[in-house]
Amino acid sequence: MSNPPGRKVNPGAAKRSAARLAAVQTLYSMEMTGQQPVDALRDFRERQDGEPRGRMAEPDGDLVAFLVHGATAERGTLDAMIGRALTKDWSTDRLESVLRAILRAAAFEIQARPQTPGRVAISEYVDVAHAFYAGPEPGLVNAVLDRIARVLRPEEFEGGGGPR
């Protein structure tokens, strides 16, 4: 999420990466507090204004709002899609709240934002998962999103190797 020393990073890409993390944090907060998207996004903007950025890029506010509103509006569809991508003995309800937020934001972006290549979206949200987890969870995110992306965007994955 932060830029490694000596590595050039596209400022727009860094803002989008920061937006994905912020969207996941906002979706998680909404699940914990029961807030509506408008209120949660307002709180996010207020926190953002008061926090030092350090080496972290300023999130793309439009992308944060797009992901939060979209993932909230499409929650039922996204949860069904995520559920089909999980193993038989797992359901979306059994996932930990942060994992649900990551997978909902990612599945919505893969579904609704064609300008983001599927493999890029998967990689970005695996990075988000690494921000929260040191165990097997990023691998779960990778596998679930790979399955979802192959259904939603088969043309991007035709003939291209196995799962990431």
pTM for the model stands at: 0.88
Q: Which helix (H) or strand (E) holds 91?
A: none
CATH 1.10.940.10 assigned to domain 11-157? The reply is: yes
**So where are the chain's domains?**
11-157
DSSP 51: S
Nearest to 15 by CA among 51, 63, 52, 50: 63
**φ, ψ (nearest 5 deg) of residue 94:** -80, -15
Maximum C-alpha span of the chain: 48
Q: Tell me the mean pLDDT per 10 residues along the chain, length 164.
A: 56 94 97 96 86 78 97 97 91 94 98 97 98 96 98 87 47
142 CB contacts (<8 Å, ≥6 apart)? Answer: 122, 126, 163, 164
Cβ distance 65 to 59 under 8 Å?
no
Cβ distance 42 to 2 under 8 Å?
no
Please tell me the predicted confidence (pLDDT) of residue 89: 81
